Structure 1
Amino acid sequence: MIVMNQLHPAPQQAMAFFAGGDDEPICMVNLLKFKDKAAYADGSDPDLPGREAYARYAAGVHACIAAVGGTLRFGGAVTGLLIGEIEELWDMVAIAEYPSRKAMLAMVQSPEYQQVAKHRDAGLAGQLNICTKPRAGAAA
């Protein structure tokens, strides 16, 4: 299995994702890896830890998710691995639920999201973003 963290999807990947599917709710599982130090495009805050830059993004993105009818379901630090092996663990896991892929697309295209996204880009080294379908009453 090849695992590659990325900061943004390739254009073809994004087009296929948002064109596919139906109008049902989705949950996005975010496996996040932070930079040691934030890297803002304008060079500001060079000593800020990447985790803190991402915290600025998280503080602003909650309202963006809510504005399209979504909700943050979970967010927490990764503390260990019980099953399997990976070269390097992610730093955090976050799960956001959206009413549909269209709602998620509307959010990432909104001016409000674009305003806070700079903190995401500054703080993240990369991530995996996994789409799931929520199921009422489901358990692992």
Structure 2
Amino acid sequence: MDGGEQQNIVWSREGWGAFKALPKDTPLHMINLIRLREQAAYPADHPKHGKGLSGWDAYRAYGTESAPIFTRVGGRQVWLGRPDLVLIGPASEQWDIAFIAEYPNADAFIEMQRDPAYQQAALNRTAAVRDSRLIRSEPLAAGGGFGMPDG
């Protein structure tokens, strides 16, 4: 965990537009890489501001509060891990949590993002996360070669 300045925690307008322009009728995997803050950083007007919560505490609250919405839209977590080391790539990109969330289609992801209860839960994520990556991916069937899809 790192207590430094937040970066890469929300998408850009361009990124959101590009996401919505991609096919919407197929399943998708969202690859998540999360680096947490040492101390959660809630806005001054938030009830949890100044309570001394850690980034982990705030991220757990996000997970607990967003889970029913994630499930309702048809989402499921297909993989979860705690990264140990970046072997290839910038050494500065160290992550506390990595996971893949599957959605039945892009509209399910969009529905979740627009849900007012999810937006409230996401305040915990914003308070918790120092840096993140969110990568939309098309699920593929594994093939016979290492790291190669079928066909």
What's the counterpart of residue 113 of structure 1?
Answer: 118
Among 5, 23, 30, which residue is 1:21 paired with? 23
What is the aligned partner in structure 2 of residue 68 from structure 1? 73
- TM-superposed CA distance for 1:87, in Å, is 2.1
| Aligned-residue CA RMSD (Å) | 2.0
Deviations 1:26-63 (A, max 9, x none): 00000101111101113624421112211110122221
**Unmatched 5+ stretches in structure 1:** none
Aligned length: 137
2:86 and 2:15 map into 1 onto residues whose CA distance is: 29
Q: TM (normalized to structure 1)?
A: 0.86
Change (3 A) 1:114 1:85: closer
* Amino acid across the alignment from 2:52: D
What is the alpha-carbon distance in structure 2 between the residues aligned to residue 77 and residue 46 of structure 1? 26
State the 4+ residue runs in structure 1 displaced beyond 4 angstroms: none
Amino acid in structure 2 at the alignment position of 1:17: F
2:4 aligned partner: none
3-state SS in 1 of match to 2:119? helix
Larger Rg: 2
Whole-angstrom CA distance in 1 between matches of 2:16 and 2:128: 21
Equivalent AA in structure 2 for residue 7 of structure 1: I
Deviations 1:83-131 (A, max 9, x none): 4443231111021000111110000101221121111011001211011
Match of 2:59 in 1: 54
Kindly indicate whether the alpha-carbon contact (under 8 Å) linking 2:86 and 2:93 is maintained by their aligned counterparts in 1.
Answer: no
How is 1:5-20 mapped onto 2 (pairs within 5 angstroms)? Answer: 5-20=7-22
- Cα distance change of structure 1 residues 80 and 68 upon mapping to structure 2, 3 Å threshold: same
Query: What does residue range 84-95 of structure 1 map to in structure 2 within 5 Å?
Result: 84-95=89-100
| SS at 2:124 equivalent | helix
- Pairwise mapping of residues 125-136 of structure 1 onto structure 2 (< 5 A)? 125-136=130-141
**2:109 counterpart SS class:** helix
What is the identity, as a one-letter code, of the residue corresponding to 2:36?
F
